[in-house]
Structure 1
Amino acid sequence: MSMCLESSVTGASPHSPDSTGWFEAARFGMFVHFGLYSLAARHEWVRSREAMSQQEYDRYLTRFDPDLFDARQLARTARESGMRYAVLTTKHHDGFCLFDSALTDYTSVRASGRDLVREFVEAMRAEGLRVGLYYSLLDWHHPDFPVDEHHPLRGTGARDEPRDMARYRAYMEGQIRELLTGYGEIDLLFFDFSYPEKGPGEWGAERLMALAKELRPDILVNDRLGIPGDYVTPEQYQPDRPLERGGERVRWEACHTLNGSWGYDRDNHDYKDPALLVRMLVESVACGGNLLLNVGPTGRGALDARARATLGAIGEWTALHGRSVHGAGPSPHRPPANALYTRSGNRLYLHLLAWPLKHLHLPGLAGRVRYAQLLHDGSEIRFQELDGARHEHNNLAPPDQPAGTLTLTLPIARPDVLLPVIELELDGEE
Structure 2
Amino acid sequence: MSSSTIYHSGCLTPYKIALATLLDQSVFEFNWQAIECLQEVPVSGMVLLHESDVQDSDTPLIGARKVLMVLAKWNFNGALKWVEQGANDSAGLEDLERIATWVVAEQSRSIWHNPQPSDQQNTLQTVIDAIPVPIFYKDAWHIYRGCNLAFSEFIGLSKEKIIDHSVYDVAPKELADIYYQADQALLAKGGKQEYETDVKNAQGERFEIEFHKAVFYKSNGNKGGQVGVMLDVTEKNRLMRELDKVSRTDPLTGVGNRREFDDAVSSALGEAQASYSSISLLTIDVDHFKSINDQFGHSCGDEALKFLVRCIYLASPSNASIYRIGGEEFYVLLPRTNLAEARSAAEKVCQHIPSQPLILKGEQVNMTVSIGAIQLASEQQLEDSFKRVDQALYEAKMTGRNRVCLAYYD
**TM-score normalised according to structure 1 size:** 0.23
Question: Which one has the bigger strand percentage?
Answer: 2
Pair member with larger Rg: 2
Of Structure 1 and Structure 2, the greater helix share is in 2
Q: Which structure ranks higher in relative contact order (CA pairs < 8 Å, sequence separation ≥ 6)? A: 1
